[in-house]
Amino acid sequence: MTLPYALEMRGIRKQFGSLVANDDVDFAAKTGEVHALLGENGAGKSTLMCMLSGVYRPTAGDILIRGRKVSIRSPKDALALGVGMVFQQFRLVPTLTAAENIILGEKSSVWRGASWMRRKTEEITAVAERFGLGITVDRPVWQMSVGEQQRVEIVKVLYRGADIILLDEPTSVLTPGEADRLFETLLKLRAAGKTVILTTHKLREVMAFADRISVMRKGRMLKTLNRLETNERELAQLMVGRNATGAVRPEAGTPGKPLLEVEGLTVEAGRGRTAVRGVSFTVREGEIVGIAGVAGNGQSELAEALAGLQAWSAGTIRVCGREWKRASVRTAIESGVSLVPENRMKSGLAGSLGIVDNLLMKTYREPERSRFGLLRGRRNREWARSLVERFDIRATGLDTPVRQLSGGNQQKLLLAREVDRDPKLMIAVHPTQGLDIGATESVHRLLLGLRASGRGVLLISEDLDEVMQLSDRILVMSGGSIVGEMSRENADRERIGLYMAGLRAVPGEAAS
Amino acid sequence: MEMIIQIAAAAMSAGTPLLFAVLGGLLIERSGIIQLGAEGVMLMGAVAAALCCIRTGSPAAALAAALAVGATLGLLHAFLTVSLRVNQIVSGLALTLFGSGLSAFLGRSIAGQPMPGAVPKLDLPFLEPVPAAGDLFAHLDALTWLSFALVIGMHLYLYRTSWGLHLRALGDSPQTADVMGIPVAAFRYGCVIAGTMLIALGGADLLLVYAPAWIEDMTAGRGWIAVALIIFARWNPLRALLAAYFFGALDALGFRIQLIGSDIPSYFLKMIPYVVTILMLMYLGWRNRGKPSGAPESLGVPYIREQRL
């Protein structure tokens, strides 16, 4: 008898304290299919996967593997059932080699002599080659590219004998080229009879490779569809719960004077690594300049240098024609540079403080906000209340610890603080990461508003759609350098993808 | 030449108690738990060995007592840091304060009393004619040989066995270890208990081999030096041997200069090893700036599986 479903979940519920991450979810994956779990950030996809892999335990509901009801109490149980997961943040020990990572946890033999290691290495290589996963088995993981690390993860799961393979947001860290390679691998896995389940929020991928698609929203399972019987529009509607309006296209403007001029900027990033290599560009008044690229190619360090947080080793930064002598946050603030940092809770807001205190953080020195070194309590509260209204921040009160706000409201609060200071130049790093569609739209509107009032915006984002939608000019960063530049009219996805993969611009090259 | 051999021998005998403590600390820290209780654990090991040795006259029983005390303290540290996820630094400091206070109290009646028995020596007469090696290795006590065996054993364990691989993974990324089916909490318990036993053994060695009798606070900061030497040894057992003997040599050197009868006040001479330790740490920190320190990456971070990432 062949079982139709490799895996079934019935009435799954998962609560973290008062937060319900999954509510009455039913889900089933057929043997030998590529099944995509589609949903926005925070829809509960990862939570569902983590319950299958034994990292979380469901609050209620049943899990059936190959028709048998099971209780997965730990990742070890999951592996014993043939369920292996490739996590979004890889579970690899950076100091160990690929082979060591793969045989980690194997208990077959205690003593590891040279011949034993050689035999294992051969076994691992055989598994890798069978599915076309090129890895260097004896290289430490920290020296590998993200794409290779992910291949090590997949080999690891296969080597441990998994036939139900879960991948959590596998493409979020890959260049478009690497992603295509990953999908080829997944198809090979399917051909070998494995069941592949992956989570994603990218419609294009789903339509290209999945056999069936399950859409989740706000912790609930909405619907499972066959790819051949649906389309991107329907999926988008299901995912966001209404028609996605998308593009708020800016009309082509006429940029004014240069606001930010960067020349030959080089930033070292510790451990002997150069994060930014001789980068030069200009941001003018009334212009949004987008920097696209896979995270970890120097964007964070560039943003930090421009915000005065990080010292640079060569090159010049000029803001409004004045050259900065050294990294100083105070100088950056005083010359009108604002930063929306990559991790808002880490370096943007103080989680346990309330809204008023967080809003005051950059302006408390001004006479408007404090007198004789004492904060002007009532006046500041009124000011905070007006900002909360203006930026539509939903919170139970002005003193609620901002940690308890939703991601979107946190980001709006941060932007309220930065925009209220009327910055000349706004540096926004992944400004909509983790936000739902509604909050994303308000952030986009704010950035476009700044542009309309003659301010400059440097938008650093991994989200290619966002960069292409908002920017007047697009720069592509790879390996710490700017490898490509194009105007909004000439931008096309494929070319940006090639640049992101590190291919340098060839002079006179035609758009391919 | 003779001077060098003398200092080398003195370095070994002064360094061995430290070597036990460094190896023990290294084992604990490799599993991802910070160990700052070494000073207190060494003192407790020493006082337990002293009390037992005077009662029974048997060094073997004394060592067993030290190991038992070490296991108890290790269990306490593991329970606090692994199960209750108490701040590991605070738990370690508490262990040190508790150990030095309690050992001083327990040892009041026997302070200064000579030990009735000694750790047996392993005589290797065939080594005697060999220059240098004969002087150094022909008449070593059993504990020193045990420390050699531990260094080699631990090196092989860490780099040649599956359990060692598990341990290295555990300290660097408990998430990964967990996903690979390694029991994180049980493994950490084991390492903390075994490592604390080794540290207590270091205290017993200090008492039974190096010093003639129990005196209050007899470790004189060696537990803390052991903590520093773990960094110096970059969490590697072979380097731990070098580090411990290096400190032992400095210790012996200061003592020797004192014997020669120089005008330098003895307090300054006793300071030498500690000052040099600080200088070495500064130098290493400067030389290795920007490089990975070799420290387990998750050192000091409690592991909770369901923590949202």
CA of B183 to nearest chain A CA: how many angstroms apart?
Answer: 9
Work out the pLDDT band at A511, boundaries 50, 70, 90: very low
CA of B112 to nearest chain A CA: how many angstroms apart?
Answer: 47
CA of B188 to nearest chain A CA: how many angstroms apart?
Answer: 15
pLDDT value of position B67: 96
pLDDT value of position A360: 86
Q: What is the pLDDT of residues A22-40, one digit of tens each?
A: 899 999 999 999 999 988 7
Q: Which of B165, B179, B298 to mutate to test the interface with A (most CBs of A within 10 A)?
A: B179
pLDDT value of position A297: 84
Closest CA to A165 of A137, A139, A186, A141: A186
Helix, strand or coil for residue A197? strand
Work out the pLDDT band at A509, boundaries 50, 70, 90: very low
pLDDT value of position A506: 45
Helix, strand or coil for residue A434? coil
A56 and B166 within 8 Å at the Cβ level: the answer is no
Q: What does the block give as tokens for B150?
A: 């531990």
Q: What is the pLDDT of residues A372-385, one digit of tens each?
A: 878 888 888 888 89
Residues A146 and A296: beta-carbon distance below 8 Å:
yes
Decide if B131 is inside a domain: no
Residues A332 and A362: beta-carbon distance below 8 Å:
no
Q: Which of A53, A95, A142, A143 to mutate to test the interface with B (most CBs of B within 10 A)?
A: A95
Decide if B300 is inside a domain: no
Check residues B59 and A177 and name the one with the higher pLDDT: B59
What average pLDDT does range B173-181 have in this prediction? 87
- Could you tell me if A119 lies within 8 Å of chain B, comparing CB atoms? no
Q: Which of B181, B291, B306 sits opposite A271 (nearest CB)?
A: B291
Q: What percent of chain A has pLDDT over 90?
A: 27
* In the predicted structure, residue B216 carries a pLDDT above the cut 60: yes
Instruction: Provide the number of structural domains found in chain B.
Output: 1
A74 and B181 within 8 Å at the Cβ level: the answer is yes
Q: What percent of chain B has pLDDT over 70?
A: 98
Q: Which of B175, B180, B290 sits opposite A104 (nearest CB)?
A: B180
Work out the pLDDT band at A81, boundaries 50, 70, 90: very high
Q: What is the pLDDT of residues B243-257, one digit of tens each?
A: 999 988 888 887 777
- Could you tell me if A92 lies within 8 Å of chain B, comparing CB atoms? yes
Q: What does the block give as tokens for A445?
A: 């509107």
Decide if B244 is inside a domain: yes
* Dihedral-angle region of residue A422 (phi above 0 means left; psi in -120 to 50 means alpha; beta otherwise): left
Q: Which of B158, B180, B298 to mutate to test the interface with A (most CBs of A within 10 A)?
A: B180
Decide if B238 is inside a domain: yes
User: Which residues of chain B have a CB within 8 Å of the CB of A106?
Assistant: 162
Residues near B188 by Cβ (< 8 Å), separated by ≥ 6?
B31, B32, B33, B78, B82, B170
B305 and A55 within 8 Å at the Cβ level: the answer is yes
β-sheet bridge partners, residue A322: A319
Please give the ipTM for the structure prediction. Answer: 0.75
B165 and A100 within 8 Å at the Cβ level: the answer is yes
What integer best gives the mean pLDDT of chain A?
Answer: 85
Q: Which of A56, A93, A95 sits opposite B306 (nearest CB)?
A: A56
* In the predicted structure, residue B104 carries a pLDDT above the cut 70: yes
A92 and B175 within 8 Å at the Cβ level: the answer is no
CA of A100 to nearest chain B CA: how many angstroms apart?
Answer: 8
β-sheet bridge partners, residue A36: A198, A213
Q: Please report, for the domain that includes residue B39, its CATH number.
A: 1.10.3470.10
Work out how many CB contacts closer than 8 A connect A with B.
82
pLDDT value of position A510: 38
B178 and A74 within 8 Å at the Cβ level: the answer is yes
B181 and A270 within 8 Å at the Cβ level: the answer is no
pLDDT value of position A504: 56
Q: Which chain B residue has the Cα nearest residue A101? A: B169
Q: Where in the sequence is the domain holding B264, given as residue range(s)?
A: 2-120+139-287
A104 and B165 within 8 Å at the Cβ level: the answer is yes
* In the predicted structure, residue B309 carries a pLDDT above the cut 60: no
Work out the pLDDT band at B212, boundaries 50, 70, 90: confident
CA of B67 to nearest chain A CA: how many angstroms apart?
Answer: 26
* Dihedral-angle region of residue B259 (phi above 0 means left; psi in -120 to 50 means alpha; beta otherwise): alpha
Q: What does the block give as tokens for A393?
A: 């921040």
Q: Which chain B residue has the Cα nearest residue A157? A: B180
B292 and A271 within 8 Å at the Cβ level: the answer is yes
Q: What percent of chain B has pLDDT over 90?
A: 51
* In the predicted structure, residue B23 carries a pLDDT above the cut 90: yes
φ/ψ of residue B147, rounded to 5:
-65, -40
Work out the pLDDT band at B145, boundaries 50, 70, 90: very high
User: Which residues of chain B have a CB within 8 Å of the CB of A270?
Assistant: 290
Q: What is the pLDDT of residues A398-442, one digit of tens each?
A: 888 888 777 778 888 898 898 888 889 999 998 887 777 777 888
Burial class (CB in 10 A: 0-12, 13-18, 19+), B278: exposed
User: Which residues of chain B have a CB within 8 Å of the CB of A79?
Assistant: 180-181
Q: What is the pLDDT of residues A293-303, one digit of tens each?
A: 877 788 888 99
What integer best gives the mean pLDDT of chain B?
Answer: 88
What average pLDDT does range B261-267 have in this prediction? 78
User: Which residues of chain A have a CB within 8 Å of the CB of B186?
Assistant: none
- Could you tell me if A367 lies within 8 Å of chain B, comparing CB atoms? no
Decide if B43 is inside a domain: yes
Q: What is the DSSP string of B198-238?
A: HHHHHHHHIIIII-SB--TTTTTTHHHHHHHHHHHTTT-HH
Residues near A290 by Cβ (< 8 Å), separated by ≥ 6?
A459, A460, A461, A466, A467, A468, A470, A471, A473, A474, A475
- Could you tell me if A351 lies within 8 Å of chain B, comparing CB atoms? no
CA of A69 to nearest chain B CA: how many angstroms apart?
Answer: 21
Q: Which helix (H) or strand (E) holds A347?
A: helix A344-347
Q: What is the pLDDT of residues B189-202, one digit of tens each?
A: 999 999 999 999 99
* In the predicted structure, residue B139 carries a pLDDT above the cut 70: yes
- Could you tell me if A271 lies within 8 Å of chain B, comparing CB atoms? yes
User: Which residues of chain B have a CB within 8 Å of the CB of A96?
Assistant: 165, 168-169, 172
What average pLDDT does range A72-95 have in this prediction? 89
Decide if B49 is inside a domain: yes
Secondary structure of chain B: what % helix, strand, coil (to 5)? 70, 5, 25
Q: What does the block give as tokens for B149?
A: 């065996």
Point out the least confidently predicted range of A200-209, A222-231, B84-93: A200-209
Q: Hey, what domains does chain A have and what are their CATH numbers?
A: 5-240 (3.40.50.300), 258-348+422-500 (3.40.50.300)
DSSP state of A509: P
Work out the pLDDT band at A253, boundaries 50, 70, 90: low
